[in-house]
Structure 1
Amino acid sequence: MKILVVGAGGVGGYFGARLAESGEDVTFLVREKRAKRLREDGLVVKSIHGDIHIQPSLVTKETPEIFDVVLLSTKAYHLQEVMEDLTGFVGEETVIVPLLNGFAHVEQLEMKFGAERVSGGLCFIETTLNEHGHIIQTSGVHKITFGERTGVGSERMDKLEQAFAKTKAMYKNSDRVLRDMWNKYLFITTLSSVTTLTRAPIGAVLESKDGEQFVEALMIEIKMVMDAIEAPLSENIVQRHMETMHKQDYGMKSSMQRDMEKELPVEGDHLQGYLLQKAKEQGMRCPYLEAVYQNLKVYEVQKNKRSL
């Protein structure tokens, strides 16, 4: 398979590097600035599962070619721009595997490339880039999940599974990938909400007075919105997610919180905002989620003023 990884950041760079390490035909679509650094230093991953240092195959939007699979893990606020960049790389048989959090991006990708070219996908991994552009991965979980959104297996997903089977990464070819995506959406929205609202890691939030009750109440409110739009969720998902919250490292921060600390854009519209719009369409009020979203909007105002 010819695999195109969009970007070489913490998520795409990690899984792409694992595939390249195992001998798969992997190319990274990057901007010229990132391409320059990668040509000079290579793609470097520092991981508890084994370090990687490769000289990656690179393309930019000016040199398009058709690929079998596109692994897409861009931030949501870059999606429109990235979709335009991808136009020359997506052919009739190409499948796009999106690894973004949330669900709004699926609708956008369908409109741009057609539903038949968009599979389901998600991942669980905690990574960051250091000052040298190296990918730092320190958590035990480094899992990617993909599958057809119809729930019916396919040759293209089987081939992707075979590719990941050679790697050190954890993987799953799921026949319930939509449920998996919504389950993660519930978890990641709750986690990013409470950590950005309190500016604290999840351990401190849960340890605080009534912190656990607050986290659970917010998760229940988010689930009510998802139930109202008939999103597929696993049974007892709130209880299971709360148990998972308690298993996180005390200092675990959401990626959105880390972005705020770096004064970067955040995905509030894509995650919390999308759900609030769905709630509005259902005539629902979500006071917890509304407070979280307002906090993110205030952050954006302050960030924009500081950048002037």
Structure 2
Amino acid sequence: MKILVVGAGAIGGYFGGRLAEKGEDVTFLVRENRKNQLLKTGLQIKSIHGDFSVTPKLMTSEETGELFDVVLLTTKSYQLNGAINDIKPFVGEHTMILPLLNGIAHVDELIQAFGDEAVLGGLCFIETTLDSEGTIVQSSPIHDLLFGERSGNKSERILKLQAAFSDTRASFRLSENINQDMWHKYSFISALSGVTTLMRAPIGPIREQEAGYRTIDTLLKEISMVMKKMEAPIKDNLPQIQLEKMMEMGHSMKSSMQRDMEKSCSTEVDHLQGYLLEKAKQYQLNVPVLDAVYTNVKVYEKQL
């Protein structure tokens, strides 16, 4: 398959690099500055699962021509509109769009742009970053990418995609219930990013405090309450499942939103907590911790 990876940053560079390492036909759609950097250094991955470097196939949005079988969308939510415009010339009638963005609101935007049939479900779990040299540094055991038809069907095209993704040095897994997986990830990342940004600390020190533990628990329950009102396909005991998962996380684990704030970067708070807060107001639900989380990050953004 011809695979277009939108972005060669921490997420796209890692998973796209692993596919290139396997020998798949991977092209990275990047900005001019990143293109120039990669032409000099190559795509460099440093990982506990094995280091890898390659001179990647690169293109910018100004280039036109070929269509791709699948587009791996790895941008931040606030970059989505630009990314949609950038990939339109490369999307054909049978192109699959596989988004790895956090949250859920982007799915409707992609459907509006490319049609319901084109958009797959997808998500990833990985802790990775770019260092000052543009090298992708991945240091935790988890490097999972889940994908699937939003209908849950094992279609011919999804099985072909599964074959293309198989036997890589990363965990690409076909999900039979990708919609539920996406909502569960949305709940988890909203809570994790929420408490770590609110407390300005990794998850370990927060959960060790009695009030910190209660804050995590309350936020998870608020998020699930909103999602149930939205009739999202989540499990009834999701807050307990995810609370247990957070208790098992590494003591020093930080959320990507927390890392963005530490770097004085923009955040995805509107796409994550903001979207849930809008729904809570629509359904007249009382969500004080979610409200505090959102307000905290918006105050930070006003100071950028």
Q: For this structure pair, what is the TM-score category when the shorter chain's length is used for normalisation?
A: over 0.9
Q: Which shows bigger deviation, 1-10 or 148-157?
A: 148-157
Which secondary structure state, in structure 2, belongs to the residue aligned with residue 27 of structure 1? Answer: strand
Cα distance in 1 between the residues matched to 2:289 and 2:194:
9
Q: Deviations over 1:2-61 (max 9, x none)?
A: 000000011111000000000000000001100000011000000000001000001111
Paired position in structure 2 for 1:58: 58
Q: Which moved more, 1:52-61 or 1:155-164?
A: 155-164
Residue 292 of structure 2 aligns with an amino acid whose one-letter code is A
TM-superposed CA distance for 1:132, in Å, is: 0.2
Deviation at residue 209 of structure 1 after TM alignment? 2.9
- Runs of 4 or more above 6 Å deviation: none
TM-aligned CA deviation for residue 95 of structure 1: 0.5
In structure 2, the partner of 1:201 is: 202
Equivalent residue, structure 1, for 2:168: 167
- The 5 A counterparts of 1:249-260 are 249-260=250-261
Question: 2:250 matched to 1:244?
Answer: no
Partner Cα separation in structure 1 for residue 21 and residue 147 of structure 2: 20
Question: What is the letter of the counterpart of residue 171 of structure 1?
Answer: F
Deviation of 1:275 (Å): 0.6
TM-fit CA distance, 1:294: 0.6
Q: C-alpha distance in 2, partners of 1:193/1:34?
A: 30
Aligned 1:84-95 pairs, distance under 5 A: 84-95=85-96
Q: What is the one-letter code of the residue matched to 1:169?
A: A
**Cα deviations across residues 199-221 of structure 1 (Å, max 9, x unaligned)?**
00000110123221210111001
Contact map agreement 2:187 2:224 (CA 8 A) in 1: yes
- Amino acid in the other structure paired with 2:16: G
Letter in 2 for 1:30: V
**Does 156-165 or 173-182 show the bigger shift?**
156-165
- Offset at residue 234 of structure 1 (A): 2.7
Deviation readout 1:138-195 (Å, 9 max, x if unpaired): 0001000000101111122111211221201112111200000000001000000000
Question: Matched residue of 1:172: which SS?
Answer: strand
Counterpart CA distance in 1 for 2:281 and 2:176 is 31
Question: Structure 1 residues 63-72 or 179-188, which shifts more?
Answer: 63-72
**Residue 43 (str. 1) matches residue 43 (str. 2):** yes
- Residues in 1 aligned to 2:48 and 2:163: alpha-carbon distance in whole angstroms: 23
Aligned-partner residue type, residue 58 of structure 1: L
2:22 alignment counterpart? 22
Range moving further from structure 2, 186-195 or 153-162: 153-162
For 1:290 and 1:233, the matched residues in 2 are separated by 22
Distance in 1 (CA, whole Å) between partners of 2:276 and 2:268 is: 12
* Residues 1:96 and 2:97 are matched in the alignment: yes
Determine the structure 2 residue equivalent to 1:286. 287
Equivalent-residue separation in structure 2 for 1:117 and 1:199 (angstroms): 39
Q: Match of 2:69?
A: 68
Contact 2:215 2:289 in 1 (8 A): no
User: Quick check: 2:12–2:74 contact (8 Å CA) kept in 1?
Assistant: yes
RMSD over aligned Cα, in angstroms?
Answer: 0.9
Question: How far apart are the structure 2 equivalents of 1:109 and 1:2?
Answer: 20
Q: Which moved more, 1:22-31 or 1:229-238?
A: 229-238
Deviation at 1:235, TM superposition (A): 4.2
Look up the equivalent residue of 2:31 and give its one-letter code: R
Question: Is the CA contact (8 Å cut-off) linking 2:146 and 2:173 kept in structure 1?
Answer: yes
SS state at 1:168 partner: coil
Name whichever of 251-260 and 277-286 sits farther off. 277-286
**How many angstroms apart in 2 are the aligned matches of 1:163 and 1:11?**
18
Distance 1:214 1:301 in 2: 25
Partner of 1:31: 31
Letter in 2 for 1:268: V
Are the counterparts in 1 of residues 2 and 26 from structure 2 also a CA contact under 8 Å?
A: yes
Q: How far apart are the structure 2 equivalents of 1:130 and 1:252?
A: 18
| Residue in 2 that maps onto 1:306 | none
Query: Deviation per CA, 1:93-135, whole angstroms, max 9, x where unpaired?
Result: 0010000000011111111111111010000000000000000
TM-score when normalising by structure 1: 0.97
Partner Cα distance (2:139, 2:229) in 1: 37
Cα offsets for 1:226-247 (capped at 9, x unmatched): 0001101134222221111111
Please, which runs of 5 or more residues in structure 2 have no aligned partner?
none
Structure-2 separation of matches of 1:3 and 1:102:
23
CA distance in 2, matches of 1:264, 1:272: 17
Task: Please show how residues 86-235 of structure 1 align to structure 2 within 5 Å.
Answer: 86-235=87-236
Say whether residues 1:10 and 2:30 are aligned partners.
no
Question: Equivalents in 2 of 1:108, 1:281: separation in Å?
Answer: 20
Q: Which runs of 5+ in 1 are unaligned?
A: 304-308
Match of 1:78 in 2: 79
Q: Secondary structure, in 3 states, of the residue corresponding to 2:210?
A: coil
Secondary structure of 1:34's aligned partner:
helix
